[in-house]
Amino acid sequence: MKKTSTRLADGRELVYYDTRHHTPRDAVDRRPLALEPPGATAAEIRRDPLLGDSVAIASHRQGRTHLPPADECPLCPSRDGRLSEIPAADYDVVVFENRFPSLAGPTGRCEVVCFTSDHHASFADLDEDRAALVLDVWTDRTAELAVLRQVEQVYCFENRGAEIGVTLGHPHGQIYAYPFVTPRTAQMLRSAAAHRERTGRNLFDDVVAREVAEGTRVVIGADHWVAFVPYAAHWPYEVHLYPRRRVPDLRALDDAARAEFPGVYLELLRRFDRLFGAGQAPTPYVSAWHQAPYRAAGRAAFGLHLELFTIRRAVGKLKHLAGSESGMSVFINDVPPETAARRLREAASG
């Protein structure tokens, strides 16, 4: 992997990641963007006194680009006289600081990850070499952001589909570097600590062991990864992907797990797209890496995993959060997890 760092016209960092080491990366951002002084774009973090949650207040995001046509996409390469966020005429994978970040400066950092220069592709269309490069990029960014003093946790994720709320159709994901431990991760750490106190065992290990032993919710069982619909799935079709050897974050994956990941992950995404039959719009989904916070107690016992889910519950029907979910965080799932797992097994390639 070749890594080339440069700066956009307004001072934001952009990093090219290439599989070919001889690829020149000397294109200059020629847009007339004003150079932003350090800290000019910042979000405010406020803490909810009742729930203890941190909320980012980022009013500057109101003006961000929203679902532009393909010929105006800011994530496509700069070519044919049109200038975009990526100065090069082509690229493999690119990461850059978000122009409209939810977190910036002392409140963290937000990055955009473009998986391919092909506007009309999706992650599921990538080959295994490109998917492996994306995994390397996620790992590299996790390592780079870990050394920032203000960062406590790194979250790599992809939102796909207008139904999910994406504002750009180009295949891309994001990375949030939080200055705090997120509420969801904090709850996992509390549950793991309570489980250890009660049983003397690791919660993440026991969750995986239970799913493997029961088998009814396992979707893919590979040598180094296992994918399953969780026993108490929140979403109609939800899969959790764990390395069989527990590690706290992406940096700790061994070579065998890294080599096997692209094939397993691409197969999962392709099954999601086949769930609702031919002729349907691509399945909207959220794909999210859960990594251990850097300085939290219980870090060593945390289990890295990816959670993949769709809000589509049937053809032409979406799972909207109703009063119970939005108001009280009590989910009601219309699809039994065992049924979801069976359908995802039936959607296997070949």
Active-site residue set = 172
Label residues 122-150 b or e (16+ Cβ within 10 Å = b): bbbbbeeebbbbbbbbbbbbbebbbeeee
- Length of the chain (residues): 350
Alpha helices in the chain (DSSP H): 128-146, 183-199, 203-214, 255-274, 323-328, 337-346
Instruction: Answer yes or no: are the C-beta atoms of 344 and 308 closer than 8 Å.
Output: no
- Residue 236 main-chain phi, psi, to 5 deg: -55, -45
> In this structure, which amino acid lies at residue 293?
P
Q: For residues 117 and 237, what is the distance between their CA atoms, to the nearest angstrom? A: 29
CB within 8 Å of 256: residues ≥ 6 apart: 223, 224
